[in-house]
Amino acid sequence: AQKVTQAQTEISVVEKEDVTLDCVYETRDTTYYLFWYKQPPSGELVFLIRRNSFDEQNEISGRYSWNFQKSTSSFNFTITASQVVDSAVYFCVSASGGYNKLIFGAGTRLAVHP
Amino acid sequence: DAGVIQSPRHEVTEMGQEVTLRCKPISGHNSLFWYRQTMMRGLELLIYFNNNVPIDDSGMPEDRFSAKMPNASFSTLKIQPSEPRDSAVYFCASRLGLGGADEQFFGPGTRLTVL
For B22-49, the pLDDT digits (tens) are: 999 999 998 999 999 999 999 999 999 9
**pLDDT for the residue numbered B80:** 97
Find which of A45, A94, A103, A104 to mutate to test the B interface (most B CBs within 10 Å of its CB).
A45
User: Residue B86's closest CA among B48, B115, B56, B58?
Assistant: B115
Strands (E), chain A: 3-5, 10-14, 19-21, 24-26, 33-39, 46-52, 59-61, 64-69, 74-79, 88-96, 101-104, 108-113
Mean pLDDT of B89-111: 87
Beta-ladder partners of A51 = A34
> Which residues of A fall within a CB distance of 8 Å from B31?
100
Interface of A with B (CB under 8 A): 33, 35, 37, 42-47, 50, 52, 91, 95, 97-102, 104-107
For A5-31, the pLDDT digits (tens) are: 999 999 999 999 999 999 999 988 888
> Which residues of B fall within a CB distance of 8 Å from A33?
101
Q: What is A74-107 written as a DSSP string?
A: EEEEEESS--GGG-EEEEEEEEETTTTEEEE---
For A23-79, the pLDDT digits (tens) are: 999 988 888 889 999 999 999 999 999 888 888 888 888 999 999 999 999 999 999
User: Residue B76's closest CA among B1, B5, B14?
Assistant: B5
**pLDDT for the residue numbered A97:** 59
**pLDDT for the residue numbered B97:** 72
CA dist A95 → A2, A51, A89, A110 (Å): 8, 10, 19, 24
Question: Taking a contact as any Cβ pair under 8 Å apart, which residues of chain B between 57 and 86 contact chain A?
Answer: none
User: Residue A21's closest CA among A3, A6, A4, A43?
Assistant: A6
- Judge whether residue B98 has pLDDT over 70: no
B61: helix, strand or coil: coil
User: Residue B31's closest CA among B102, B95, B100, B99?
Assistant: B95
The chain A residue lying nearest B41, using CA atoms, is: A106
